[in-house]
């Protein structure tokens, strides 16, 4: 698996179609999480591909919310992304806005962790620290069960995602928290230019 894109080109494409800092933050967060998982899962040689797929997965959402994952192939192609990247991006909307099934391990992880990073981010913002650094799985599970909290983050997608990976919900949560911890400082630093 290989990407033709450099990170600089990917970031340029993302910010061409996304002006909302919240959307850029989400892309950078999922990028970091995917980089962490690439190494965790023994795909360290594919880290760049995993990361850039994470960075670009919602490229079409801000401008084309009604055509989410439908407009993405065109935008990604124009940016120079290959078919493998396009498949990965489209598969994260499987069952909701896309019929491209997550097949590769990276696609299953992107599907499972995307909504969960939203939930973790929202939970982190409620904490006195405003951070994931001191967040534990037990407190995240409470937020997960509270359906009114961050209601936009689909619990069903997160549950299906863990199931597709053959992981428990706790495992998925623990790993994703660790991934977000590793990248939090770098993402916050990079976000300064967009705020």
Interface ranges with Fe ion (CB under 5 A): 58, 114
> What's the closest the beta carbon of residue 69 comes to Fe ion, in angstroms?
10
Cα dist. 38→47, 48, 51, 85, 169 in Å? 5, 9, 8, 15, 19
> What's the closest the beta carbon of residue 169 comes to Fe ion, in angstroms?
19
> What's the closest the beta carbon of residue 147 comes to Fe ion, in angstroms?
20
- Give whichever of 116 and 136 is closer to Fe ion, judged by the CB atom: 116
- Give whichever of 5 and 34 is closer to Fe ion, judged by the CB atom: 34
> What's the closest the beta carbon of residue 104 comes to Fe ion, in angstroms?
18
- Give whichever of 3 and 27 is closer to Fe ion, judged by the CB atom: 27
- Give whichever of 2 and 67 is closer to Fe ion, judged by the CB atom: 67
- Give whichever of 53 and 140 is closer to Fe ion, judged by the CB atom: 53
């Amino acid at each position: 698996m290989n990407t033709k894109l450099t990170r600089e080109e990917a970031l340029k494409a993302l910010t061409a179609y996304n002006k909302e800092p919240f959307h850029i933050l989400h892309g950078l967060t999922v990028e970091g999480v995917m980089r962490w998982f690439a190494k965790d899962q023994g795909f360290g040689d594919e880290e760049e591909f995993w990361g850039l797929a994470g960075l670009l997965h919602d490229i079409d959402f801000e401008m084309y919310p009604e055509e989410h994952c439908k407009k993405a192939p065109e935008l990604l192609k124009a940016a120079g992304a290959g078919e493998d990247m396009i498949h990965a991006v489209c598969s994260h909307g499987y069952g909701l806005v896309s019929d491209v099934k997550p097949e590769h391990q990276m696609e299953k992880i992107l599907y499972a962790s995307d909504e969960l990073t939203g939930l973790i981010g929202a939970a982190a913002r409620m904490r006195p620290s405003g951070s994931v650094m001191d967040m534990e799985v037990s407190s995240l599970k409470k937020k997960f069960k509270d359906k009114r909290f961050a209601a936009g983050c689909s619990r069903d997608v997160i549950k299906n995602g863990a199931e597709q990976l053959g992981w428990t919900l706790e495992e998925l949560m623990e790993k994703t928290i660790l991934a977000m911890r590793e990248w939090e400082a770098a993402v916050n630093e990079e976000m300064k230019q967009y705020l």
